[in-house]
Amino acid sequence: MPSRPSKRLETFANPRPARDYRIHMEIPEFTCLCPRTGQPDFATLVLEYVPERLCVELKSLKLYIGSYRNEGAFHEEVTNRILDDLVGATRPRFMRLTARFNVRGGIHTTVVAEYVKPGWKAKPAVDVSALPAAPGSTRG
């Protein structure tokens, strides 16, 4: 029996809670309905987050995303609602949801919503191109 769409997001314990690391997911098959016309809207969702104590479980995320298939929602609302639900379930240090909607009526829409845990600051990225090459390395 196939799995049914669900609004329930499941989580699991972050295996490395002391480390800031980024989880990146691309969800290319998001669909919802235009609340004005009832026509389907298609989008690719890009989820990036730095977990605190919990990570989102992938199958529950898939079923959650699928639960929007027959719901009418404006792009801005559905992007922010999904982010709010994911933040509520995982309580991350940082989370960004980018929703790249396919062209409709000649307009391509991208909505970006972010959450930053109060007091959390991202560590600066390491620029590996500025590091000295190892002896015998062909990098350069």
Catalytic residue annotation: 34, 41
Provide the β-strand partners of residue 11. Answer: 56
What kind and span of H or E run contains 83?
helix 75-90
**Beta pairing class for 11-13 and 23-33:** unpaired
Q: Who contacts 26 (Cβ-Cβ below 8 Å, separation ≥6)?
A: 44, 45, 46, 47
Alpha-carbon span 36 to 73, nearest angstrom: 9
Contact between 21 and 92 under an 8 Å Cβ cutoff? The reply is no
Closest CA to 24 of 51, 64, 62, 52: 51
